[in-house]
Structure 1
Amino acid sequence: MSDDVLSIIPTDPQWQPDRPAAERTAALAADLAPGQDDGIEVEIDVTWHEALTPVDCGANLERIGCPHCDASIDIEWYADLLETHCDDGFATLAVTVPCCGAATSLDALDYAWPCGFARFEIAIWNPERDWFDDDELATLGDTLGHPVKQIRAHI
């Protein structure tokens, strides 16, 4: 069985909220992403990560582009990088891209389906919606105390 996960992460990968702000934002996310028609509530995980952790789009990832030369970056290169850091996260997002050898940041790559990195995440499992609109994202960010972005994964 597959799952869809709609995650909310801060736009600054290092930023983390305090617990009350996180709890208020998770409650708001639950209100904005109601459960299934049969009354089953969505599952929401709120996580503070010790290190920078990938929040990727899973099977939704179609392409990764280089911000320097606009070439396609092999998705396997990215997958290998994530696997290398799956247990301990990333100390830095600095990377040298394989296409042109430019130094950049993993969060600056052009992902076809959003991906990100964070030390804080609100993950909504199997929401009955695809995305939050811009106004809802702004409200979630205001409630959290920091601007946010969203990642939709299919796993």
Structure 2
Amino acid sequence: MLIMKKSFIFLLILQIISACSASKEKRQMERTSKEVGVKFTYKPENSVFSGFQLKVIPVDYRLELTEAQNQVIADLITEAFPENEITFDLKNKIEFVDSGVDLETISCSNCGSVIETELWQDGMTKAHETDFADMGFIAPCCKKEVSLNNLKYDTETGFSKYQVTIINPDFDKANHEEFVTLLEKQTGIKMKLIWAKY
């Protein structure tokens, strides 16, 4: 009887190990090297494409993550969203991470006045020429220099060399501080979420 119980427990452990291995197998990612950096794509068979995305970036836009750090983040996020297509971009230059059509108003971080979109776009074009190494922007309202990163965007946006994009996520599942807290705890990196619609 004792031998049968031990055999049963041993078989159960083997099944759990096999299930974990299978789960990890499903979460393998395709690695693509580009001139601007490296991109990893996780795409399960039943994933659905949509114009709704959840982006995850570090608060520090200058931060360059390693592939090892990305793997830690990828393990956590693919486990949280196993049925969604997810991309992980490690770039060698800073890029603007937007919120799509939800971004409507940009205001001065000094005086709070609304900045005309065309003037902001001119500032973005100029900063893009330096790969956003220089984000200085003279606010037309108060004539003071501010950083494009510090302007007040009416939806969460940011600048970053690293970006995770989750396609068509479950809003209720991800819209929790615990999600960011878990990422920060496991990586030691301050993160923020950007909801985007296209």
TM-score, with structure 1 as normaliser: 0.83
- Unaligned segments of structure 1, at least 5 residues: 35-40
Deviations 1:31-82 (A, max 9, x none): 3335xxxxxx211111112221000111011211111111011223334544
* Alignment of 1:15 onto 2:15: no
Q: Distance between the aligned counterparts of 1:52 and 1:2, measured in 2? A: 25
The amino acid that maps onto 1:74 is: E
Match of 2:79 in 1: 31
Given that 2:139 and 2:145 are in contact with CA atoms closer than 8 Å, whether structure 1 keeps it comes out as: yes
Matching of residues 2-151 of structure 1 within 5 Å: 3-34=51-82, 41-82=83-124, 89-129=131-171, 131-151=174-194
Deviation at 1:138, TM superposition (A): 1.4
Q: Matched residue pairs, number? A: 149
The amino acid that maps onto 2:140 is: P
Deviation at 1:126, TM superposition (A): 1.5
Q: Distance between the aligned counterparts of 1:53 and 1:143, measured in 2? A: 25
Q: Distance between the aligned counterparts of 1:146 and 1:61, measured in 2? A: 26
Q: Distance between the aligned counterparts of 1:86 and 1:153, measured in 2? A: 21
Match of 1:37 in 2: none
Structure ID, larger Rg:
2
The amino acid that maps onto 1:64 is: I
After the TM superposition, which parts of structure 1 deviate over 4 Å for at least 4 consecutive aligned residues?
A: 80-88
Secondary structure of the residue aligned to 2:171 is coil
Given that 2:64 and 2:92 are in contact with CA atoms closer than 8 Å, whether structure 1 keeps it comes out as: no
Q: Distance between the aligned counterparts of 1:2 and 1:56, measured in 2? A: 16
> Which protein is richer in strand relative to its size?
1
Secondary structure of the residue aligned to 2:132 is coil
Report the CA distance shift for 1:145/1:18 in structure 2 as closer, same or farther (over 3 A).
farther
Q: Distance between the aligned counterparts of 2:50 and 2:143, measured in 1? A: 36
> Which protein is richer in helix relative to its size?
2
TM-score, with structure 2 as normaliser: 0.66
- Unaligned segments of structure 2, at least 5 residues: 1-48
